[in-house]
A = this chain, B = another copy of it.
Amino acid sequence: MPPFVTVDRQKLQKHRSIQQFDVSEAIYANGGEGLAWRVRKGVVRLDTVAPQNKRHFASLAIAGDIIGCETLLFGCYTFSASALTPCELAPWPEGDRNRSNDTLLDVLAKTQQRAAELIALRGGQAIDRVLGLARLLADPAGNVILPTRQDIAEITDLRFETISRIIKQLERAGTLDPIRLAGIHATRSFHLAGQACPARGA
């Protein structure tokens, strides 16, 4: 494993503008000044900040999403951002390349789509909400790092006890398979069964 770490370090130095964030680490605060970012890895949570500094879940950004665009308009962030899983962000737009696969119009379309998905995560039975979130966050191989029970609860508008019960239930049903490292039962890393392209019959 040492060589892998070395490679990562080198990559990091090549693009020195890339930023890393740990779980539950703040990325930026609403009202603050800064850049727009592209989420390269991980899951980012966006919150509105109400009086008394109360935070309310507002949106989710996963790999490929752009966050903080509104600074290009207002000069400051509208929401607060924090890392739900280990994250890697890069400034956006990437000035060097002209490929421009992400125009403002692309970002808008993706934002609308993401919003519709989040709306769906707050409706229906609890188990479907949790499964929906797991599917949204899983990679094509079905591997997924879930946020904490508390964060899942705030995303789906349920209680963390309910989330805990449902994840256990999905584990026992074999839908979620905890990934064990050194024999230790992981609580966040799973393999999600039946995960593939969303084109399969009932």
Contacts and interface: CB of A to CB of B under 8 A. Distances in A.
A68 to B, nearest CB: 10
Given A105-B69, A109-B74, A157 B115 contact: no
A44 interface: no
Contacts of A107: 108
Contacts of A57: 119, 123
Contact of A111 (B74, B79, B108, B122): B108
Nearest to A115: B115
Query: Could you say how many copies of this chain the assembly holds?
Result: 2
Interface in A20-35: none
Contact of A108 (B79, B104, B157): B104
A112 B111 contact: yes
Q: How large is the interface on A (under 10, 10 to 19, 20 to 34, 35 or more residues)?
A: 20 to 34
B58 A157 contact: no
A94 B155 CA distance: 37
A191 B107 CA distance: 38
Contacts of A120: 48, 56
Interface string A93-111: 0000000000111111101
A184 interface: no
B59 A115 contact: yes
Nearest to A116: B58
Given A116-B59, A119-B57, A119-B122, A78 B111 contact: no
Contacts of A72: 105
A13 interface: no
A118 interface: yes
A109 B59 contact: no
Q: Which residue, A46, A104, A112, has most C-beta atoms of chain B within 10 A?
A: A112
Give the 3 A-B residue pairs with the shortest CB-CB distance, closest first.
Answer: A115-B115, A58-B116, A122-B122
